[in-house]
């Protein structure tokens, strides 16, 4: 049975997350620093392949309401949730399509294509289809971000997973229980470290990561070679622009990479200004703090709130109650009184300043 037929993603929900490494503003800045005149995200066309519930894409659509954002995923349940959230947050610039990549027909090329958490989790023919799609559907100066697990660091992790799987099969226990058992007989400190690292990820992430039905770690060199075979050019790491190599990955035991690629015929010139180096204005706490509609929806549904850098902020339930009260109708003083009732342990003023500094308030 091919992985496309095996709808593993419907059986366990993938935790909704936003990804700083696939923040198209950062990706564009990296491309510009490398000399490619990449489009600005506002007003651009953005596609996310394997978008899940659309948490990342909706966060982009919320930041650039003039951008046309399209999400693609084969999971009916994930697309249903994504569409419902887009509608309730009033994000009419986000559109979601329930389809396999192989069936998806694009109406126009994209300035940004995101494939985060996709490459290592699909069969080889889908990986090839992904590169083929990117090669044919990027605008001339567009960029694509591709994350994947790196074989160098996964060898030792997979050895632990194999042992845990043997315990699961013998004892009819789940992955978390098997790891807890394995922990009691760990042979080395390194094995203990890996087990604790897996346990810390929790069951939901493990089901789609270390214990995923398909987890195919590749080397950077092999990914770049596949990209080049499809008319693409590798730029570098999607956040730093650094160009690593397999030797350093082997030495460092690298487990994950997120890389930026573009069309091979894209024209590179002198390095352009990196917008990220511009000084940022100091953040003031507004007199009447207000979450925008998307972040309010995230708070109401206890989803992580994306910050200004696309990092996921997770709050406790009492903190969420305070956030939900931030609809712009209450002053800082009224909110501090409310916080005393619903979140008595919260040090409200520094916490509110922190929330503002993370760019969560409109
Ligand atoms: C590991 S999840 C990643 C979700 C999200 N991009 C993230 O990184 O948080 C992989 C997603 O790819 C989707 N997927 C897998 N194969 C696909 C295919 N051939 N076409 C479209 N979506 C696919 C799955 O349904 C799942 O939602």
pLDDT digits (tens, 9 = 90+) for 68-127: 999 999 999 999 999 999 999 999 999 999 999 999 999 899 999 999 999 999 999 999
Output the CA 50–ligand 1 centroid distance in Å.
3
Q: Return the number of other C-beta atoms located less than 10 Å from residue 223's C-beta.
A: 21
N- to C-terminal Cα separation, the chain? 48
* CB of residue 97 inside a 6 A radius of ligand 1: no
Distance 86 CA to ligand 1 centre (A): 18
Is residue 362 included in any domain, yes or no?
no
231 and 111 in one domain? yes
Q: Is residue 281 part of a domain?
A: no
3 is a domain residue: no
Indicate whether 5 pLDDT > 50.
no
Please check the confidence at residue 138 and state whether its pLDDT lies above 80: yes
Model confidence pLDDT, tens digit, residues 7-23: 444 545 677 889 999 99
Judge whether 268 lies within some domain. no
Residues 173 and 195 in one domain: yes
Whether residues 79 and 146 fall in one domain:
yes
Distance CA 277, CA 252 (A): 29
Within 91-195, strands assigned E span 94-98, 110-115, 138-149
75 within ligand 1 shell (Cβ under 6 A): yes
Q: C-alpha angle with apex 133: 274 to 37, nearest 5 degrees?
A: 20
Q: Flag whether 6 is in a domain.
A: no
Same domain assignment for residues 336 and 203: no
Range of the domain at 329: 293-357
- Do 58 and 85 lie in one domain? The reply is yes
Q: Are residues 127 and 224 in the same domain?
A: yes
Indicate the top mutation candidate among 10, 11, 20, 50 to test ligand 1's pocket, ranked by most ligand atoms within 8 A of CB: 50
Please state the pTM of the whole predicted model: 0.91
Total domains, the chain: 3
Within a domain: residue 106?
yes
Is the separation of the CB atoms in 349 and 56 below 8 Å? no
**Residue of minimum CA distance from atom 14 in ligand 1:** 50
Residues 181, 43, single domain; the answer is: no
Which runs of consecutive H residues, i.e. helices, occur in 271-330? 293-300, 317-324
């Amino acid at each position: 049975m091919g992985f496309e037929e095996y709808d593993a993603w419907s059986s366990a929900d993938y935790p909704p997350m936003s990804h700083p490494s696939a923040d198209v503003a950062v990706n564009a800045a990296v491309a510009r620093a490398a000399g490619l005149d990449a489009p600005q995200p506002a007003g651009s066309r953005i596609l996310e392949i394997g978008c899940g519930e659309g948490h990342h894409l909706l966060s982009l659509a919320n930041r650039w309401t003039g951008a046309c954002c399209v999400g693609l995923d084969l999971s009916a349940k994930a697309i249903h949730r994504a569409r419902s959230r887009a509608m309730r947050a009033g994000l009419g610039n986000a559109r979601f399509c329930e389809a396999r990549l192989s069936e998806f027909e694009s109406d126009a090329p994209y300035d940004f294509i995101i494939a985060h958490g996709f490459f290592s989790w699909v069969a080889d023919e889908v990986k090839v289809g992904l590169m083929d799609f990117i090669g044919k559907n990027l605008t001339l100066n567009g960029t694509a971000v591709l994350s994947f697990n790196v074989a160098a660091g996964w060898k030792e992790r997979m050895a632990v997973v194999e042992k845990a799987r043997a315990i699961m099969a013998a004892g009819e226990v789940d992955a978390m229980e098997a790891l807890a058992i394995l922990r009691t007989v760990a042979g080395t400190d390194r094995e203990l470290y890996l087990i604790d690292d897996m346990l810390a990820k929790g069951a939901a992430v493990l089901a789609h990561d270390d214990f995923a039905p398909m987890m195919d770690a590749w080397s950077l060199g092999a990914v770049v070679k596949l990209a080049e075979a499809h008319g693409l050019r590798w730029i570098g790491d999607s956040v730093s622009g650094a160009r690593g190599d397999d030797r350093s990955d082997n030495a460092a035991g690298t487990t994950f990479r997120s890389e930026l690629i573009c069309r091979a015929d894209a024209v590179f010139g002198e390095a352009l200004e990196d917008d990220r180096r511009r000084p940022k204005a100091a953040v003031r706490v507004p007199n009447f703090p207000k979450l925008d509609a998307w972040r309010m929806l995230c708070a109401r549904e206890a989803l992580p709130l994306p910050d200004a850098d696309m990092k996921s902020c997770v709050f406790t339930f009492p903190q969420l109650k305070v956030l939900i009260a931030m609809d712009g109708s209450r002053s800082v003083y009224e909110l501090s009184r409310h916080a005393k009732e619903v979140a008595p342990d919260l040090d409200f003023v520094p916490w509110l300043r922190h929330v503002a500094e993370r760019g969560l308030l409109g």
